[in-house]
Amino acid sequence: MSSSDWTMKDLEEWDEKICELAKEEGLDWFPIRYEVCDYFSMIGHMSYHGMPTHYGHWSHGKQFERTHQMYNLGMEGLPYELIINSDPSISYLMRENPAYLQILIMCHCVGHSDFFKHNRMFANTKPGTVVQRFRNAKKRIQGYVENTNIGIDAVEEVLDAAHAVQFQTDRYPIEKLSPRQLKKKYIDLINNDEDGEWSHIDIEKIPLEPQYDILKFIMDYGRIPDWKKDVLNIVREQAQYFIPQIQTKIMNEGWASFWHYRLMHKLELPQKYHIPFLKSHNQVIRPHIGGLNPYHLGFEMFRRIEERYGIEECFLARESAHDVSFLRQYLTEEDAQDLGLFSFARQRDKYKITDISDEEGWKSVKQDLLKNIGTNPIPVIYVNEVMDDNTLTLVHDHDGRDLELQHADEVVLHISRLWGDVIKLFTVVEGDTWEI
């Protein structure tokens, strides 16, 4: 089939049918604005994370060129769809997709948008204003680039450094005390301390508690000009917008796949669409040999939860969980065995299977899986103290996995450029304390 087997009117009619059926099934999503584009435009949207507008940076161009070359060489395909967390949601459809695939994609997007709207991890992403915020950020960055007192080189240096640590921030939507509120808290504890429990606290220490939001800390305490603080704030806010998507990749894709499969079976599809639909579905959710396909794992988990507990439990999980809590609660020994999950580790120049999902090993496999999904693969670094000479000390929250020292050196260099002074990072390497 080719793209000639559908018209825009056809898509509008199918969209109406999909929306009517999805509402009957209990889904509740943001309105979706579909935009049809060719493969070249799709690559561009992918390079800019689906945003209609985004500030310029060499990394976006690098990603575009890589994807374009791999696609032209036939070494990499393109996603059937791309949708962003906004209100209304924006979804891009490839013009080259045949009709049955466009219908599948629209069902898939309804699932995604429902997930964006209701999952608690997205509660603070402000989808109604995200496009305008990205547009304003682009204008501000461009203004600094064109400012003769700043210029493109200075702006790119700050962006490079900020990108290196953009996910060193608060990973969960928890209300936190401001520095002033925190100081008052400890003053009250000291003043009401009858047993001397809090007498060791240095009330002038900065910070009083470990601070995991490195960019925010530099914005608050760094001796840097306002334009740099603004650039850091732009990168930080955009990272916080994307973090929920990282934390719910398995659930999000699983939920969308679960619903496109369910809706497609309930739609009155022409007979000629049935086999192509099943082929496309199976291609999307097939397991990846030697790797993890989030579509496969997410789809299978929601399917099994419905079988065991009913569809309402699926909706509850969709609302309250993220990937780690989702799999921690619902992944069973039976699931691990059926899905063929295993653990592996690199030993010198080879990879070796370390555990399989049998009666003894499945719990270890599950724990390894949890350590390597969401934001968990990203090392946790926190600000420990600003010394009298303005040296900033950082601590790696070691969880048994050592840092890659070459990368750590580069990241410390980036942070020092942002802070404008000496940086010390403390970690553990092969059981010994290490200073970078």
Q: Within 36-193, where are the H helices?
A: 39-47, 58-72, 99-118, 130-146, 151-164, 179-191
Residue 75 above 60 pLDDT?
no
Which of the two residues, 366 and 346, has the higher pLDDT score?
Answer: 366
User: Taking residues 217-235, what's their average pLDDT?
Assistant: 96
Share of residues in the chain with pLDDT > 90 (%): 69
Instruction: Give the per-residue pLDDT at 327.
Output: 97
The pTM of this model reads 0.92
Nearest alpha carbon to residue 55 among 230, 215, 224 = 230
Closest CA to 322 of 287, 286, 355, 294: 294
Within 13 Å and on the Cβ side, how many CA atoms surround 260?
A: 30
Banded model confidence at residue 74, pLDDT cuts 50, 70, 90: low
* Structure confidence at residue 79 (pLDDT): 60
Largest CA distance in the chain: 80
User: Could you tell me the pLDDT band of residue 280, with boundaries at 50, 70 and 90?
Assistant: very high
Compute the distance between CA of residue 19 and CA of residue 29 in angstroms, rounded to an integer.
Answer: 10
Eight-class DSSP state of 286: P
- Greatest mean pLDDT among 311-315, 346-350, 363-367, 396-400 lies in 311-315
pLDDT band at 77 (very low <50, low <70, confident <90, very high): low
Structure confidence at residue 1 (pLDDT) = 41
Helices (H), 268-361: 271-285, 294-309, 311-320, 323-330, 333-338
Note the pLDDT tens digit of each residue in 402-433: 999 999 999 999 999 999 999 999 999 988 88
pLDDT surpassing 90 at residue 165: yes
Average pLDDT, the chain: 91
**pLDDT over 60 (residue 253):** yes
For CA atoms 28, 33, 39, 43, the dihedral sign is negative
Q: How many CA atoms lie within 13 A of 52 on its CB side?
A: 17
Q: Is a pLDDT exceeding 80 seen at residue 71?
A: no
Find the mean pLDDT for residues 114-129. 96
Q: Which of 388, 414, 409 is nearest to 396 (CA)?
A: 409
